[in-house]
């Protein structure tokens, strides 16, 4: 008997993967911006292949606007008329917002509409809310189960999830962080808020409580690029495709429930949603942020400063022509009462390094509401300019000390 079997015909070429068509978009503008790119742009897919129902979940759009507005609730109005309300907190979050152009208007606590609200320009500038929107809650274990008894976190995640939580694939799995590992500094900075989510911010970033198993090819090129979002929908966590570049995946998985692990903190899922929203935000967000940034008063009372662009350093140039002081405009030597070092600055490199930190923090403060941490640390919009004046004064007047006991002048003392 021959050990060689007869040749067989090669299998035919595989047909191209079916695509879920998307020729429609949902665009959202700030009420004060009526042209150019919107602050948010979602591609609207059919709810399922062959369906004529096309739209983006209302709750997802409102939550994305909530994030960009610095955690302020609001409602959608039809563009260009701001009088026609389309959806708000009382709307069914699982309804589909039909393709079109909308304005997002913030609603204050008393019901007053705010058309002049400020926008958050980046994830770094965004502060997670103390309480995440209610529809994101539920589904997690009351007490997160201990991780599997495996020292390698990535392996533990794959053992616990068993398959890709979105596709069900059992091979080529990788553990993917919800809050990206690269955001470790941001994660630590907001530890007080994150503790309120029921987790342990000192360890959760690189633990099984912040990682899920996904098919390896979905992570860097799809999930991390914001082509789809994990979000609550119809009492499940589902994959919502919002960009046109993944139509083949959308055909199979758009609005399909995922096997989301109960060990994951829902607050971390919401943070990931916010991270992705900023990831694919349009140039219209930066333009609107710059347009809404208020004019600033000169710290010396000399009038208004020019409105800064979104990428301008908060404190201005470190050094300019002789007599210049960082962000305070041209200042003469006698303003601080002392001789300078010849390059227009009395400050040391260490002073400038510390002021650069203050200026970076100041830039962030202008894009979001103040937090308890800010108030306790004495940070407020514009505080870096005051710090610069303080540092300059101290360098110019080394005899002045901020420490010591004041001496009371008594009659008979020499003048």
Average pLDDT over every residue of 85-101: 93
pLDDT of residue 397: 77
Closest CA to 88 of 125, 119, 61: 61
Cβ(43)–Cβ(244) below 8 Å = yes
β-strand pairing of 113-114 with 173-177: unpaired
Structure confidence at residue 7 as a pLDDT band (50, 70, 90): confident
β-strand pairing of 96-97 with 54-57: antiparallel
pLDDT of residue 286: 85
pLDDT of residue 185: 92
3-state helix, strand, coil in the chain (%, to 5): 30, 15, 55
Cβ(86)–Cβ(98) below 8 Å = no
Is the pLDDT reported for residue 129 higher than 90? yes
Mean pLDDT of the chain, nearest integer: 79
Is the pLDDT reported for residue 79 higher than 90? no
Cβ(201)–Cβ(184) below 8 Å = no
Is the pLDDT reported for residue 126 higher than 70? yes
Tell me, what DSSP letter sits at residue 220? I
pLDDT of residue 368: 67
Q: Is the pTM higher than 0.85?
A: no
Is the pLDDT reported for residue 180 higher than 70? yes
CA 285 vs CA 40, 278, 300, 306, 327: distances in Å: 7, 9, 32, 20, 25
Is the pLDDT reported for residue 337 higher than 70? no
Each residue of 236-245: pLDDT tens digit?
Answer: 999 999 988 8
φ and ψ of 78, to 5 deg: -70, 135
pLDDT of residue 246: 82
Lowest-pLDDT range of 93-102, 133-142, 252-261: 133-142
Structure confidence at residue 1 as a pLDDT band (50, 70, 90): low
pLDDT of residue 247: 87
Each residue of 347-371: pLDDT tens digit?
Answer: 887 677 667 767 767 777 776 677 6
pLDDT of residue 344: 54
Is the pLDDT reported for residue 221 higher than 60? yes
């Amino acid at each position: 008997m021959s050990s060689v079997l007869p040749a067989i015909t090669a299998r035919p070429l595989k047909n191209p993967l079916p695509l879920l068509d998307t020729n429609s978009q949902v665009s959202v503008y700030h009420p004060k911006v009526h042209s150019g790119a919107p602050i948010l742009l979602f591609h609207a897919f059919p709810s399922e292949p062959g369906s004529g129902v096309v739209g983006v979940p209302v709750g997802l759009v409102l939550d994305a606007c909530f994030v960009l507005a610095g955690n302020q609730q609001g409602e959608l109005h039809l563009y260009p008329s701001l009088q026609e309300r389309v959806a708000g907190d009382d709307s069914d979050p699982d309804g589909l917002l039909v393709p079109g152009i909308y304005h997002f208007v913030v609603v204050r606590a008393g019901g007053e509409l705010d058309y002049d609200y400020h926008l958050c320009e980046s994830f770094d500038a965004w502060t997670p809310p103390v309480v995440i929107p209610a529809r994101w809650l539920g589904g997690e274990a009351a007490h997160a189960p201990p991780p599997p008894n495996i020292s390698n976190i990535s392996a533990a995640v794959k053992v616990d999830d068993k398959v890709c939580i979105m596709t069900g694939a059992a091979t080529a799995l990788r553990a993917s962080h919800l809050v990206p590992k690269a955001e470790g500094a941001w994660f630590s900075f907001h530890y007080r808020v994150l503790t309120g989510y029921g987790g342990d911010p000192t360890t959760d970033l690189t633990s099984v409580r912040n990682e899920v198993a996904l098919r390896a090819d979905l992570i860097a090129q799809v999930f991390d690029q914001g082509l789809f979002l994990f979000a609550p929908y119809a009492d499940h966590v589902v994959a919502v495709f919002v960009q046109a570049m993944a139509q083949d995946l959308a055909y199979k998985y758009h609005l399909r429930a995922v096997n989301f692990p109960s060990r994951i903190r829902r607050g971390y899922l919401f943070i990931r949603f916010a991270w992705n929203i900023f990831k694919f935000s349009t140039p219209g967000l930066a333009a609107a942020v710059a347009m809404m940034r208020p004019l600033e008063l000169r710290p010396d009372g000399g009038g208004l400063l020019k409105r800064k662009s979104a990428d301008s350093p908060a404190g201005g140039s470190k050094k300019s022509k002789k007599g210049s002081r960082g962000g305070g405009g041209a200042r003469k030597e006698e303003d601080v009462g002392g001789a300078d070092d010849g390059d227009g600055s009395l400050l040391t490199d260490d002073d400038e390094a510390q002021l650069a930190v203050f200026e970076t923090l100041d830039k962030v403060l202008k894009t979001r509401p103040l937090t308890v941490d800010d108030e306790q640390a004495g940070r407020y919009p514009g505080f870096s300019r005051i710090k610069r004046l303080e540092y300059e004064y101290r360098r110019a007047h080394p005899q002045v000390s901020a420490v010591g006991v004041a001496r009371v002048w008594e009659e008979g003392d020499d003048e």
